Chains A and B, each alone.
Chain A
């Protein structure tokens, strides 16, 4: 009986737990959104329950109305789309009404976009209409060409390996028989493997039909009309377009030698960077824009949460052609650091460690790409304050491109605060004792 009850209890609790992970899937009208967030395109969707779509003003974003299944994933704490069952793209025109009641109609347009890879080369390109079709055709042709080249390479590589095996076999036999095999070795070394095929440096997003939204700052109402002018149920939404609060401020991405793979950001202008000064720093300045936190969070994830009174900085692009001027407190004047390329190599002394070296394009790192680009800021162990400023190639300082780096350490001098803490109590005791004495003296007299 006891075992039965235990099993029953476990079955109930576990099944309840599992059931709570994913909600029931429901077919809904929704707008799939590809929204530009000031740096890149973010994918999100606006459910029936959500009343507002948030987009960046004066930038292209894409809306795609569709009917599909939606469910809540408790494990990830987010709403998700299940497009395996139903994923019906809805035809029609989008009616956009501004606050001045001016109505405009938008038709669907074919579009595509791509981004060039690499953290610092994010150049988003969007093509619409015929240009998108042309670009897609070019991309397909390129992909086909690369595929053919790849196939050819595989075949040639196979032949080359077979030939190499044969040659090795011949050399081995000649060596065993005591024959001269130098000619064979020369022949083996003379023939190089087939060259690697070319590769595409970008991935084009498949062509899709969408409503292109590019509106100035304001509030709008949208609804989807079918071919007969009837409004789709639940298609009525509000669009809020917002702009940058502050733009082209300078932020820094930096990391220390011992944590090179874990870079940190200094986004707030005039903020202080506190470090312990035990390792050199690698800094990279970049341009950043400030957005309303609530709007930007909702743009990235329509079900997300944000703070309407707060703002957030979004990095846009690195500062090219700039210099870093740094002034260490132990040195008489400012010094200059130029942007360099670096390579992270395995340490020779410590097999689990690594070392950072300058990238050598011609010799040591001939066939490799650099791991990162940065301004090197050495720690001298004496300076406690390092002031950094970014200036462009015309020697003009960037606004908000200044930071103060402070080397902080624990000092026994802090204990004086604890000693001070005793003073108020001591003062109170002194006053109380003095009052008691005065009272007793008065009582006696």
Chain B
């Protein structure tokens, strides 16, 4: 057991080092910082003597208009109710998670096809620690990124007299677990595929399905219709990290802490189930060296 933990630690460290040497990470952080600056400045420019007037800044007006027409007025109001931070966080967080998950799915699949992972895990361990090391790398960078964003927002709020609401930090917590569940899907996809492109295709397709279902569930509708497609959609939502993430955000807004904890627990459960599934799938596919 200790040997396995040691191996996981070594591979995870190597993965972290690899990622740190990749320019994409730095470009993403720089992009996030620049966007945060523009978002805060735009928000301040939109503040009038009688409150927020989004029509004063084209970008925020566009965002608010799109939100209102697709998801209703309340969704737009909720997004900016406590300031610009939740909106900024959503915009800068998703590209980062997409980058991490794509790199995980592609790299794992690629290393499987080239036989690199066989070389790395040659020894007293099976493929599972190898997958786990990727998960640890993803947890490390997601936590680091959220921590950085929280520090950045707190500094921004101190300078501008805006508030990083306590509910924002709770939203960040559920976002972290949502991200880890999404990243686990990337690991599962790579365990199913035999090369990088297949792995990436499986992962992106599943995320696209979840994302479309998520956006669909938020949109304004004119009539409820129950048909096989809606039933399949409802069933698929049970496996979607976006579904529990949205539910946790609503719970935070309503101050319903029990529901919030249940949603976070559901996200942890999805991650665990996916990792266990990855473990068994890799065994079935006999990747053990």
Q: Is the CB of A272 within 8 A of B159?
A: no
Tell me, yes or no, whether A309 is within 8 Å of chain B by CB: yes
Expressed in whole angstroms, the minimum distance between the Cβ of A431 and any Cβ of chain B is: 7
A255 / chain B contacts, CB cutoff of 8 Å = 50
Tell me, yes or no, whether B23 is within 8 Å of chain A by CB: yes
Expressed in whole angstroms, the Cα–Cα distance for A52 and B221 within the complex equals 14
Expressed in whole angstroms, the minimum distance between the Cβ of B75 and any Cβ of chain A is: 6
Q: Is the CB of A312 within 8 A of B36?
A: no
Q: Is the CB of B72 within 8 A of A310?
A: yes
Dominant SS among interface residues on chain B: helix
Closest to A404 in B: B163
Q: Is the CB of A428 within 8 A of B163?
A: no
Q: Is the CB of B34 within 8 A of A275?
A: no
Q: Is the CB of B29 within 8 A of A424?
A: yes
Tell me, yes or no, whether A281 is within 8 Å of chain B by CB: yes
Q: Is the CB of B37 within 8 A of A408?
A: no
Dominant SS among interface residues on chain A: mixed
Expressed in whole angstroms, the Cα–Cα distance for A310 and B68 within the complex equals 12
A-B pairs with CB below 8 Å: how many? Answer: 159
B21 / chain A contacts, CB cutoff of 8 Å = 431, 435
Q: Is the CB of A274 within 8 A of B219?
A: no
Segment among B40-48, B171-179, B201-209 that sits at the interface with chain A: B40-48
Expressed in whole angstroms, the minimum distance between the Cβ of B154 and any Cβ of chain A is: 12
Expressed in whole angstroms, the Cα–Cα distance for A279 and B47 within the complex equals 13
Closest to B158 in A: A413
B30 / chain A contacts, CB cutoff of 8 Å = 421-422, 424-425
Given A417-B156, A420-B33, are A409 and B161 neighbors across the interface (CB < 8 Å)? yes
Tell me, yes or no, whether B61 is within 8 Å of chain A by CB: no
Q: Which residue of A254, A277, A303, A410 has the most chain B CB atoms within 10 A of its CB atom?
A: A410
B279 / chain A contacts, CB cutoff of 8 Å = none
Tell me, yes or no, whether A87 is within 8 Å of chain B by CB: no
Within 8 A of A (CB), among B5-48: 20-21, 23, 25-27, 29-30, 33-34, 36-37, 40-41, 43-45, 47-48
B74 / chain A contacts, CB cutoff of 8 Å = 293, 307, 310-312
What would be 5 A-B contacts, judged by CB atoms less than 8 Å apart?
A307-B74, A308-B224, A406-B161, A406-B162, A408-B44
Q: State the A residues within 8 Å of B (CB).
A: 50-52, 254-259, 262-264, 266-268, 270-279, 281, 293-294, 297, 303-312, 384-385, 404, 406-411, 413-418, 420-422, 424-425, 427-428, 431, 435
Which A-B residue pairs are the 3 nearest by beta carbons?
A: A421-B33, A256-B49, A256-B50
Q: State the B residues within 8 Å of A (CB).
A: 20-21, 23, 25-27, 29-30, 33-34, 36-37, 40-41, 43-45, 47-52, 71-75, 77-78, 81-83, 152, 155-156, 159-163, 165, 217-224, 246, 250, 253
Known pairs A276-B47, A294-B221, A420-B152. 5 more at Cβ < 8 A? Answer: A254-B51, A274-B47, A309-B246, A409-B44, A425-B27
